[in-house]
Structure 1
Amino acid sequence: EYVISRGCCCCLLPVFTCGGNITGESGVIGSQGYPGVYPPNTKCVWRITVPEGRVVVLSFRFIDLESDNLCRYDYVDVYSGHVSGQRLGRFCGTFKPGALVSTGNKMLLQMVSDANTAGSGFLAVFSAAHPHERGDQYCGGRLDKPSGTFKTPNWPEKDYPAGVTCSWHIVAPKNQIIEVKFEKFDVERDNYCRYDHVSIFNGAEINDAKRIGKYCGDSPPAPVFSEGNQLLIQFLSDLSLTADGFIGHYKFRPKKFPTTTVPPTTTTQPVTTRPIPLKYSVALCQQKCKRRGTLEGNYCSSNFVITGTVITAVMRGGSMYATVSIINVYKEGSLAIQQAGKTMSTKIIILCKKCPFVKRGLNYIFMGQVDEDGRGKIAPHHFVMAFKTKNQKGLNVLKNKQC
């Protein structure tokens, strides 16, 4: 049984059901009822098997699920293997990921929907491909020596191959953290790193809530430090353009090692202020939420001053954890800044989630302190305001100010 595909008068699609076992060299998978609205309160599992000695390459052609920063409500999980496999990613909303590649000849998709918002679901195609090997080793693996190197397949002789996924799981002793530096870096460029990219996660699995950064382009990212004793580095290339690739190095560090190598932007002594502990008292958030002072007055007493766009904002406990895409840096201090090509971003914790209140997608001036992990900390008394182009001139004047 087939239906005519939306937007295509002559394209026939099979009638999609909830899950199933699929074998063969290639095929199409769709959510239940696609392109109609998928049903609520369902859990569908598809198990793909391609011939022995091959790997599965999966590409989403269309995706429209309830959108959420952490994909908590409606989502598609993709796993390498059928049982206890590594999760290659969790997806929702309308953002199409690049190609996903299993390590063996099996892949599992699981779609979950809740009782509320729904969309048209997803349509994906899979095919069998030859695995990319280097000697007798797949790329990726577990790294647990005190220091080491990781690199893309074919480095440095030629470009990395298309359609490959490498995952390096770095594990340090309990009382240590991990520092990662890229020596050379050249990965297909895209403003949002949607196609070929490197993602680095705190912990042992792919989880957007624990992602430190996503990188592409030809500029090596700034050094990365883990929060705990485990990091996962994932490299993914889709089925189109490739590039030179990268070589990176990691080493274990004592936990109390300062987690940034960025020097202060001024030659004078940085202002020392008593840091606010993250386990702050409730009293802090009971203060009246009112911005104090002026741009000029707060500039010198702040560790960092940036303008940027809030791209993610997640509530955890009583705080808001935001990722900010940087427009300009006026005072860097020890703020940890991630770079992917020409795009820079940083992590900011707003200690009291409603004070100051910021919204995703809007531009702000942020002035605040920096914690020992290099993250910006904003308390109710710090200076945050909506950023407009007319503020640029005043900020440029402040940048040249000696504190």
Structure 2
Amino acid sequence: RQLSCGAVGVWRKLTLHIQPIFHCGGHLVTDSGIVASEGFPSPYKPNSKCTWYITVPEGHVVMLSFRLFDMEADPTCRYDYLDIYNGHTRLVQKLGRFCGTFRPGAVISTSNTMMLEMVSDDSTGGRGFLASFSAGKPHMEEHQFCGGRLIKSQGSVKTPNWPNSNYPAGISCSWHISVEPNNVIEVKFMKLDLEPDTYCRYDYVALFNGGERDNSRRIGKFCGDTSTNDSPLVILLLFFFLSNVLLVQFVSDLSVTSDGFMAHYTSIPLKPPPRKPINKPTAKPKPQFNVLTTCFLPCAFSSALPLNPLCTQACKRTGTLQSSFCPHDFVITGKITSLTTGPRGSARVEVALIKAYKAGKLNITKSGPIMSITLASTCKRCPGLIKGRNYVLMGKVDTQGNGLLSPSSFSLLYKPIHAKALANLLRKPC
């Protein structure tokens, strides 16, 4: 029926003001829909844990596309984060953990189910996330644009556009490799060039042992450029997987792209261990090594230096601004201007001071109006600081006035809202 111009205007106003109410978790059983953090677009609640179960029709896969993402940022997503699983349980592959304000690329499951789990701590938050999902066709063709099921005894996987140009931004591909029973899969990366990042948060290739089975686990997550000028086609990474099924997943975000990767796989018979000789002299046997166990992880990484003993603590923030203010010797806000790696995982951190709320005997260098501080971090990965970002930093001061950061030091991405909270804490006696 036709509506008058006035009626159409009223109808539009009414529909524009009708907003869906997003709850903390739920079961979404439909061929397409919207999923968002609780209360979106209002900030999500602190100290919450919400789980969404998505189910699309049988014979399809779940295709998830983010429209907005705004959560507390951290290099390793320790505080507020969104985990995405390849099914309705935490026992399956984790397709990704996301945080910060950078919108993730598309995420695709390998079955008709997907699980989203959002966790927040007791401090800084954001607006959360908004994403749409739909039922897509599963990867069935070996030579399709991106991903597929590979059942031959040998083959290759490569990023889209290889080797003519960079891979596209904002895609997710999954290759399922399955070979004969009682065989294992050998994978050789001839080239690996993905957007570099210390924690491979943006573009990465991940490998899961066991494929789609519930007990599959992620074996590795890789990014960066591992090529060499001397021999660019050398085998860069070598894996042996004690399974005849393997999942290779490639994800790219919406920004920087690179050449991509090319990898070959081969099916290798798993030979039983040799039987022990009977009635032999009791001489001390020579140690036997099985390449399938000694090279389960990338052999190229086996010569790494021993882990710094000061970097063995759990990399997880404890406490809040309020509870951490008094126990620490110094409390400052500042911008990371330099981050230099030291021996065995340590770091030297240069900070341009914004404000010192508690400095004690901390050495502060002044050059004109600019004040800076040099801090020694026992473990670069924890707290995971990023050059160019502003932080709230708390730590200890030694007898010479040097500032020290440890994995237990409190750090937080600084926002203007923190200034008022810190000023209030400064007025209260410790």
TM-score normalised by structure 2 residue count: 0.46
- Please say which structure displays the higher CA radius of gyration: 2
